[in-house]
Amino acid sequence: MNVVLGLDGLDALVGVLREEGHVVIGPVLRDDAITLAELSSAADLPSGWGVETGPGHYRVREREDAAVFGHSAGPQSWKRFLHPPRRTLVSSDSTGFHAARDDTPDYAFLGVRPCDLAAIAKLRQIVASKLPFVVAAQCTEPGEVCFCTSMGCGPGAGDGYDIALTERLDADGHRFLATPGTEAGAAVLDRLPGRVATKQDVALAEQDVATAARRMGRALPEVDLRDLLAANRDSAHWEAVAQRCLTCGNCTMVCPTCFCVSVEDTTDLDGNAERAERWASCFEIDFSHLHGGAVRTSGAARYRQWMTHKLGTWHDQFGTSGCVGCGRCIAWCPAGIDITEEAAALSQTTEHGGERR
């Protein structure tokens, strides 16, 4: 049953989740960005703050209203909680070897965007982790670099949430339509102050989400991207991209689905040792190192590997694209490289018969 919550209901939601033993993670304003951190109450949420994004551009801005979820994806994704940047695998000391314990908290994620909801589903195909309680926040105001509609990952929430919220501010007040997605979500909603949603409440929420879908400023070309990238393996366009790409790896670090890791061993003078995995990037020169040297030594080869895997060969591994259209790789690329523009350029070149081999 759909219910309508006020701000007191949102605060009660955080309280109930904490009472149930969850560590509640949600968006907060910190260090001039919308980041993710533990919430003690709904007051920690970035009420009244939005963002401006573009290729190589991200700025927070004050809104003219008190919207809580009136912002698009920030620099962090939920990946860091399901697939930490560094994780100990095994350690040793004078007493012997010790396998790492799984001390992952019982998380509840609040404010998960539909693109990130899809990313969590993709990531769980690869990384084994505890399933968090998920409160999704449907998008009604897409950011300038968002293209989730063309990836089928938003702006409405798909499967995988316990509760979905749709925020609305108008003459009738500030409220959230709450839709349960699981029995656990329905049980939580039963404990919150609110009222039963009317057909009008549901219709307005659906209308807002539909309007957001039409406002997407970017899209990937409507072609078979897997075939497009395979056909353009030797395209001269990769060198053109490499002239701008810094091979810094920012795009892979902010991507909510990139999962590659490297394993490193460390020791100290007391005889302690540790083996850990850390996030790695296909833009690192040593990422493709084999006996005798690196396989992909040029920036062109490394960018091609990233984009071809993300949009193409991911299908071979997991049956779907690895991109959810969040736009983070565009906003946080210091050179302003836009994956949608690069895919369109390859598509246009192929249409004119210049690169297909």
Average pLDDT over residues 287-303: 85
Tell me the C-alpha distance between 325 and 148, whole Å: 4
> pTM for the whole thing?
0.93
The pLDDT value recorded for residue 353 is: 52
- Which pLDDT tens digit goes with each residue over 56-100? 999 999 999 999 999 999 999 999 999 999 999 999 999 999 998
The pLDDT value recorded for residue 356 is: 41
Q: Predicted confidence band at 293 (pLDDT cuts at 50, 70, 90)?
A: confident
Q: What are the sequence ranges of the domains in the chain?
A: 3-85+104-214, 225-262+280-351
Tell me the C-alpha distance between 258 and 124, whole Å: 12
- Which pLDDT tens digit goes with each residue over 225-236? 999 999 999 999
- Which pLDDT tens digit goes with each residue over 308-331? 999 999 999 999 999 999 999 999
Tell me the C-alpha distance between 330 and 282, whole Å: 17
Average pLDDT over residues 339-351: 88
Sheet containing 96-99: give its strands across. Answer: 96-99, 86-93, 273-279, 261-267
Q: In this model, does residue 295 exceed pLDDT 90?
A: no
Nearest to 332 by CA among 73, 130, 30: 73
Residue 75 and residue 27 in contact, taking contact as beta carbons nearer than 8 Å: no
Residue 49 and residue 34 in contact, taking contact as beta carbons nearer than 8 Å: yes
Q: Phi and psi dihedrals of 322, rounded to 5? A: -90, 0
Mean model confidence pLDDT for the chain: 94
- Which pLDDT tens digit goes with each residue over 8-39? 999 999 999 999 999 999 999 999 999 999 99
